[in-house]
Structure 1
Amino acid sequence: MLRALHIKDVGPAARFDLELGERLNVLTGDNGLGKSFVLEVAWWVLTGTWLDRPVLPRRGMEESAAIAGEVGYKRKLNWGERVPREGTYTVEARFNRIVQQWDLEPSMRQRLLRDGWVSAHRGIEMAARLELAVPVVYVGVNGALSLWDPARGQPREEAHGHRIASAQAYHFSQQELWNGLERNGKTLCNGLIHDWVTWQLEAEAGDDAEQPFDLLRRVLQLLSHPDEPMNPGKPVRLYLDDVRRIPTIDLPYAAGVPVVHASAGMRQILSLSYLLVWAWTEHVQASRIIGWPPADRMVILVEEPEVHLHPKWQRHIVPALLQVLSGLTPAAQETQASDPEQASAMRPQVLVTTHAPLVLASLEPHFDSARDKLFTFELKEGRNVELEERPWTRYGDAVGWLTSEVFDLQEARSPEAERAIAAAYDFMAGRHERLPEHLKTGDAIHAELQRVLADQDPFWPQWLFAQTERQT
C-alpha cells in the first residue's frame, strides 16, 4: 500500500504532502488543482511506470524538483531474516533533464543492495519492487483503464546491459477492454465480450471449479444499484459481420439487453466489474505459475466514479466498490456471506477523486477515521494551490456537503438565487451600501426572489416576516 506521497516543485503546487489512509482516501477540490495529477504520481510510485508521459517539474524548478513515496510491503518469499517480513521502503526520484525522465536516487539503489532486496548481479531496484508490490488498477474519467501486476514480471534488457525484472502495464481504451488487447502479436487480454461468454459457458458446463463467472455475477450485483440489478442473461448473436456471441444483462424492466446497447453509466459499471474480476483471476493464475502466493491487497486509483451515473447510483458506487474489493478472494467471500463487516481477507486501498457531494454523503456510514482520510485541494489568494487533510465531519446530506468547507458554496442554489439572497440579507441588516444597483429597494429584491426562488424555498418565511415587520 502507499503510505505517503511527497511532491516538490512538480505540478500545480510548490509542494504536496499526503500521509495516506490504509483503506480509503478521498480527494476533492476545484478543477485543475491537482487531483488527477496526484493519482498519476501515485501510480508511478507504486508501479515504476507512467500512465502516459512523465509529469514535468514546474518551469525553472528542474534542479529542485523531487518525488518521494513510502510504500508498505509484505514479502511474498522467504529470504530468511535479512529483510523484515513486513515494512516500508521509500521511492525517491529526481528529474533527469537530459532524457526527460525521473531517475531513482542512488541512495535507494544502495539501500536495496545492502538490504538484500536486489542481488548485485542484477543491479537495479525494480526486481525488488516486483516481489514486494501488489496489483494496481487505474480507472480514468475518460473511460481509459490500466492494470499493473507484479506477478507478470518479465526479464528485459536495459541499456547498461543488466537483465532486470519488470512488469509491463496494461493500458486499455474502452474498446480494447471490451474487444481484446494485443501487443506485438500476443494476446494480453481477450476482452469483456469474449471472456464473459467463455466464463459463462464454462460455468454452465461445470468444466472448471475455479472459473470466474460466479465472481463476475457477484461483482455486477454489488456494483449495480439495488433498484436496477444487472444479472447476466443468455449470450446472443447480433450482427451479420460479427460472428461473436454478445453477453446480455437482465434488468428489472427488460431481459436480455445486449451489453453493447446498455447505457453509458451501465457500460461503465460493466467495464469496472470485468476489469476487477479479470485482473484478480489473472493475478492468481500468474502467481501460481511463478510460485508466489497471491497478494492480499490491491490498490485502486479512481477518477470521479460519479461520471455518467444517476444520483442514486452516485451515492451507491464507492461503498459498493469497497465491498467488492474486500471480497475478491474465496476466503473473503465466505466471510462476507456470514458477516459482511468482518470480511478482511482482501485489504484494498482506494484513492478516489470526486466532485460529487452525493458521493461524500454516501460515505458517512462507512468512513472509518482510523483507516480512511479526506483531502481537499484549495486555491489560496487566487494563486497558490494547497492540499489539506481534513477531519471527517458528517454533514447529513448533499446540501450540507455543498455548503461545507469542502465545497465552499454559500448556497446550494443557482448563482442568481445566491446573489438575490445575499442582497436580501444585506437589505434586512441595513447594509444598503453593499446592494447592487438593480437591487437597491425591497420591492426590487422581492421581485428578484420571486424570479429565482421556488415557491416552497425555505428562505421565504424569513424574508416575508422581515417585510411584514418593516411595513408595520
Structure 2
Amino acid sequence: MIMHLGIANVGPAPGMELDFGSRLNLLTGDNGLGKSFLLDILWWAMTRTWPAEVNPRLTAGKTALPTDKKQPAIIKARFSAASKPIDSKSDFKPREQTWSIKAGRPANPGLIFYAMADGSFAVWDPARNYWKSKREEGKARPPAYVFSPEEVWNGLENSDGTWLCNGLIRDWAGWQKERGQAFASLEAVLAVLSPSGEEKLVPGKLTRISLDDVRDMPTLRMPYGQEVPVLHASSGMRRIISLAYFLVWCWEEHLKARELTGEDPECRAVFLIDEAEAHLHPKWQRTVIPALMQVMETLRPGREMQLIVATHSPLIMASVETLFDAAKDAWFDLDLSDGNVLLTQRPFLRQGNVSNWLTSEAFDLPSGYSQEAEKVLEEATQALSNESFGPEDAQKLDQQLRGVLSDTDPFWIRWRFVAEKKGWLS
C-alpha cells in the first residue's frame, strides 16, 4: 500500500504532500486542478512506469514534466511493507527527459489496478511485471500491462506478435464455455457491481453479431428480458463490465503466475479509479464505490485493499457517508485560491441530503439551483428586506420565480408569507 506521496516542481502546484488512508481515499476538485495528474503520479510512484510510455496508443498518462525547467523536480513516496516502511525518491533528469530509477525491482505495494477516465486500463502485477536486478538472469518481464479502450475489448498484443491478453470478448466467451472458476468470479463481481437487486448484471447466452465477425459475443440479460451483446450495451454498462472483467482477469492471471513460481498469491491490492462516476446513472453512482470495496473480498476473502478515487460526483461522496472511517480513510480537496492550486486534507463530515454536497467544500457551488434560478432567488431574497420594494416590482419578480422554481420549492413559503403581509400580491 502507499502511505505517502510528495511532489515538488511538478504539476499545477509548487508542491503537494499527501498522507493516504489505508483503505479509502477520495480526491475532489475542479477540472484542471490535478486529480488525474495525481493518479498518474501515484501509478508512477508504485510501478516506475508512465501509462503512455508503456502503450503509446494512450492519449493520457504521459510523462510528467517539471513546472520550472530550471529547478529540480522530485517525486517521493513511502510504502507499507511487512517489516518496515519503504521510501523511494525520483528526480527528473533534464538531459535525458526522464525520471531517475533506482537499480533493481521497484518496491512492491501489491497488485496495482488503474482505471482511467477514457476507458483505458493499466495493471501492474508483482508476479509478472518487474525489472531484473544486476544479479538476476533470464528474460525481463513487461514493465506493466496497459490497455487502450479498444484493446480492453479486443486484446493486447506484444511487440513480438504474442498476445499479452485476449481481451474482454474472447476471455469472457472462453470462461463462459469452460464454466470454471474464472466465469464464476466474473458472475460474482458483476452481481456485486450491479446497481440493485432488481437490475443485476447477469451474463446471457453467447451469440454472433455479424456474418463477418466469427467471435462468440458475450451478452447481458437485461431487466426487460432481452439479451444484449456487450458491444451494444450502454456506455455505463460497458464501463462497469470492463471494470469487472479486468478485476477478474488481473486476479486469475496473478494466480496462474504464482502457481508457476510456487509462491503464495499477493494479499494486497491498490485501485486507482479516475472519475468513478463516468457514464453512470445516478443510481449506479450511489453504489459503485461501496461495491468496489466489496469486490476484492468476493475474489479473495481477507485481502487488504486500498482505493484511491477521483470524482466530480456529489452522489459518490454521499454514497460513502456510512462507510467513511477517519482511522482508515481520507479526503483530499483541490481548490484554486488567488491563482494558486491548494491541496487540503479535509475532515469528512456527513452532509445528509446529496444536494448539500454541491454546496460543500468538495464542489463549492452557491446552491443546487440552475444559474438562472440562483440569480432570481438572490433578487427575491434582497427584495424581502427592501422597504422600498413595491407591488409592481413584486409581481414581476413573482412571475420570474414561477419561471425558474418548482411548485413545491420551499422558498415559496417564505416569499408568499412576506409578499402577502406587505400586500404585494393581493
Structure 1 length-normalised TM: 0.82
2:73 pairs with 1:95: no
RMSD of aligned Cα (Å) = 2.3
1:403 paired residue among 359, 376, 383:
359
Q: Tell me by how many angstroms 1:470 deviates.
A: 2.5
Contact 2:129-2:144 at 8 Å conserved across structures: no
Compare the two structures and name the one with the higher strand fraction: 1
**Aligned residue pairs: how many?**
410
Q: Tell me by how many angstroms 1:42 deviates.
A: 0.4
Q: SS of the counterpart of 2:100?
A: strand
Q: Tell me by how many angstroms 1:216 deviates.
A: 0.4
2:105 paired residue among 113, 123, 127:
127
The amino acid across from 2:15 in the alignment is R
Q: 2:384 corresponds to which residue?
A: 428
Contact 1:233-1:247 at 8 Å conserved across structures: yes
Identical counterparts, % of pairs? 42
Paired with 1:384 and 1:163, the residues of 2 have a C-alpha distance of: 49
Cα separation, partners in 2 of 1:175 and 1:15, compared to 1, 3 Å: same
Q: 1:116 corresponds to which residue?
A: none
2:23 pairs with 1:26: no
Q: 2:280 corresponds to which residue?
A: 309
The amino acid across from 2:167 in the alignment is G
1:285 paired residue among 240, 246, 256:
256
2:76 pairs with 1:68: yes
Q: Tell me by how many angstroms 1:445 deviates.
A: 2.8
Paired with 1:64 and 1:157, the residues of 2 have a C-alpha distance of: 27
Q: SS of the counterpart of 1:197?
A: helix
Cα separation, partners in 2 of 1:400 and 1:181, compared to 1, 3 Å: same
Paired with 2:19 and 2:106, the residues of 1 have a C-alpha distance of: 23
Contact 2:115-2:273 at 8 Å conserved across structures: yes
Q: Tell me by how many angstroms 1:308 deviates.
A: 0.9
Q: Tell me by how many angstroms 1:14 deviates.
A: 1.0
Paired with 1:257 and 1:18, the residues of 2 have a C-alpha distance of: 44
Q: Tell me by how many angstroms 1:263 deviates.
A: 1.0
The amino acid across from 1:185 in the alignment is G
Contact 1:23-1:349 at 8 Å conserved across structures: yes
User: What whole-Å deviation, never above 9, does each CA across 1:91-135 have from its counterpart, x for those lacking one?
Assistant: 11111100111114xxxx5xxxxxxxxxxxxxx1x3252xx3411
The amino acid across from 2:419 in the alignment is Q
Q: Tell me by how many angstroms 1:149 deviates.
A: 1.1
Paired with 1:431 and 1:356, the residues of 2 have a C-alpha distance of: 41
Q: 1:357 corresponds to which residue?
A: 314
The amino acid across from 1:231 in the alignment is V
Paired with 1:217 and 1:162, the residues of 2 have a C-alpha distance of: 40
Q: SS of the counterpart of 1:451?
A: helix
Paired with 2:331 and 2:265, the residues of 1 have a C-alpha distance of: 30
2:124 pairs with 1:172: no
Please show how residues 433-444 of structure 1 align to structure 2 within 5 Å. 441-444=393-396
The amino acid across from 2:105 in the alignment is A
Structure 2 unaligned runs (5+)? 53-61
Contact 2:5-2:77 at 8 Å conserved across structures: yes
Paired with 1:392 and 1:87, the residues of 2 have a C-alpha distance of: 29
Q: SS of the counterpart of 2:367?
A: coil
Q: 1:454 corresponds to which residue?
A: 406
2:31 pairs with 1:56: no
Paired with 1:290 and 1:141, the residues of 2 have a C-alpha distance of: 34
Paired with 1:397 and 1:366, the residues of 2 have a C-alpha distance of: 16
Q: 1:269 corresponds to which residue?
A: 240
2:151 pairs with 1:195: no
User: What whole-Å deviation, never above 9, does each CA across 1:443-463 have from its counterpart, x for those lacking one?
Assistant: 443232122111211111111
Q: Tell me by how many angstroms 1:326 deviates.
A: 2.8
Q: Tell me by how many angstroms 1:327 deviates.
A: 2.5
2:8 pairs with 1:8: yes
Contact 1:155-1:163 at 8 Å conserved across structures: no
The amino acid across from 2:405 in the alignment is L
Contact 2:286-2:315 at 8 Å conserved across structures: yes
Q: Tell me by how many angstroms 1:156 deviates.
A: 6.0
Paired with 2:422 and 2:17, the residues of 1 have a C-alpha distance of: 53
Contact 1:149-1:167 at 8 Å conserved across structures: no
Paired with 1:406 and 1:192, the residues of 2 have a C-alpha distance of: 35
Q: SS of the counterpart of 2:85?
A: strand
Please show how residues 294-443 of structure 1 align to structure 2 within 5 Å. 294-329=265-300, 332=301, 345-381=302-338, 383-430=339-386, 441-443=393-395
Cα separation, partners in 2 of 1:155 and 1:303, compared to 1, 3 Å: closer
Cα separation, partners in 2 of 1:251 and 1:48, compared to 1, 3 Å: same
Q: SS of the counterpart of 2:42?
A: helix
Contact 1:150-1:167 at 8 Å conserved across structures: no
Paired with 1:376 and 1:245, the residues of 2 have a C-alpha distance of: 45
Structure 1 unaligned runs (5+)? 75-85, 110-123, 333-344
Moved more, 25-34 or 286-295: 286-295
Q: Tell me by how many angstroms 1:328 deviates.
A: 1.6
The amino acid across from 1:6 in the alignment is G
Q: Tell me by how many angstroms 1:366 deviates.
A: 1.4
Q: SS of the counterpart of 1:212?
A: helix
User: What whole-Å deviation, never above 9, does each CA across 1:51-82 have from its counterpart, x for those lacking one?
Assistant: 2231011134x4232111111123xxxxxxxx
Moved more, 289-298 or 15-24: 289-298
Contact 2:109-2:270 at 8 Å conserved across structures: no
Cα separation, partners in 2 of 1:91 and 1:431, compared to 1, 3 Å: farther
Contact 1:66-1:95 at 8 Å conserved across structures: yes
Q: Tell me by how many angstroms 1:232 deviates.
A: 1.4
Paired with 1:44 and 1:178, the residues of 2 have a C-alpha distance of: 25
Paired with 1:431 and 1:168, the residues of 2 have a C-alpha distance of: 72
Cα separation, partners in 2 of 1:349 and 1:167, compared to 1, 3 Å: farther
Q: SS of the counterpart of 1:292?
A: coil
The amino acid across from 2:7 in the alignment is I
Paired with 2:16 and 2:110, the residues of 1 have a C-alpha distance of: 24
